[in-house]
Amino acid sequence: MKLTSAALAASLAAGLIAGAAHAADGKPAMEKCYGIAKAGKNDCAAGPGTSCAGTSKVDYQGNAWKLVKAGTCIATKTPKGNGSLTPRP
């Protein structure tokens, strides 16, 4: 079977993208997802008046985040909308 350079490049790119979903230790890569945590269930950074993990004051607080598997944040639905990769008001 003869591979063209374009097919080879596409194959390599697909492998790299698939591999990027896992960290070096074999665990899935994670990302911060804002606005999806219930009150007191955030992982960190819950804005003014809070210190860190477990300190969010309201459900789905826009500046509080939880770690989720990379690539899943935006698809995470809440009553206030989908998750966000950046803090929101």
Q: Are 36 and 74 in contact (CB under 8 A)?
A: no
Instruction: Match 């194959």 to its residue by tokens.
Output: 11
CB atoms < 10 A from the CB of 68, how many? 19
Tens-digit pLDDT profile for residues 27-85: 889 999 999 999 999 987 555 555 678 888 899 999 889 999 999 999 999 999 999 99
Hey, which residues does 32 pair with through a beta bridge? 67
Is the whole model's pTM more than 0.75, yes or no? no
Rounded to whole angstroms, the Cα distance separating 52 from 35 reads: 15
Rounded to whole angstroms, the Cα distance separating 74 from 52 reads: 23
Rounded to whole angstroms, the Cα distance separating 60 from 80 reads: 7
> Could you state, in order of their start, the residue ranges of all structural domains in the chain?
5-82
